[in-house]
Chains A and B, each alone.
Chain A
Amino acid sequence: MFTTRKQYEPYVSPFDPCAPILVKTYVTPPNLYVGFQPPNLPQFPLHEALKKGTLWKIFYDPYYSPYEMANKGDGQ
């Protein structure tokens, strides 16, 4: 399944003092994939658009903290 969250496995040395993070993630926001926005893309209803921070569904890219991920993550 497509996701805007990408992963990589950084090199781990036996001499790294902190507990190694085996998988690192980074964000590739939707604006990287859309190009010049075509007309008539699907919109959110007005109140939902305000809450989400964009009128257009294609650009919606929620981001949650580790604290919130526990119960509210979007799985991305």
Chain B
Amino acid sequence: MWIYEKKLQYPVRVSTCNPKLAKYLIEQYGGADGELAAALRYLNQRYSIPDKVIGLLTDIGTEELAHLEMIATMVYKLTKDATPEQLKEAGLDAHYVNHDRALFYHNAAGVPWTATYIQAKGDPIADLYEDIAAEEKARATYQWIINMSDDPDLNDGLRFLREREIIHAQRFREAVEILKEERDRKKFF
């Protein structure tokens, strides 16, 4: 089971009331390479991966849920007290008429989240390579969002999240090495 902890993984700050940034950020909430997709991808794959790497998928999947909460916090803070007029200016008018200020699992273009964003082939190597690619794509997405943002406090949190993707990719690469079972053996080629 999971137990919720009443704190964020990282102290998230936002310096300006800028709903336009929320519109970009929602990509990492309900987009193809976002935190929801990441959490669900790893937590689903772990049932059919070799025992040696179940722990890693469980722990990274759990950390992704903490990242999802960070993104939600950023979106919440960027839109909390924004007027309908400000939301309209930010291009969130279509979102507003459907959801008011509620968060929703869709991407920056408003396309709702779908299970087809995540893969589970049941082949350990195929699945881990999928995970490595997902981490690099998430890292790239954070770069593009940072490029679009002039809010230094927001970027501070986004840099943290981007750095985490680098670590996750590193661990998934190590998981591949573990499955090759060459770690403690002399190379024979």
Nearest A residue (CB) for B169: A31
Count class of interface residues, chain B: 20 to 34
Question: A31–B162 Cα gap in the complex (Å)?
Answer: 13
| Nearest CB on A from B103, distance (A) | 24
Counted as pairs of residues, one from A and one from B, with CB atoms less than 8 Å apart, the total is 65
Question: A59–B1 Cα gap in the complex (Å)?
Answer: 31
Contact of A3 with B by CB under 8 A? no
B-chain residues with CB within 8 Å of residue A51 when the two chains form the complex: 160
| Nearest CB on B from A7, distance (A) | 16
For residues 131 through 173 of chain B, which have their beta carbon under 8 Å from a beta carbon of chain A?
136, 139-140, 142-143, 146-150, 152, 155, 159-164, 166-167, 169-170, 173
Assess whether A27 is in contact with B152, with CB atoms less than 8 Å apart. no
The residues of B with any CB-CB pair to A shorter than 8 Å are: 10, 136, 139-140, 142-143, 146-150, 152, 155, 159-164, 166-167, 169-170, 173-174, 177, 183
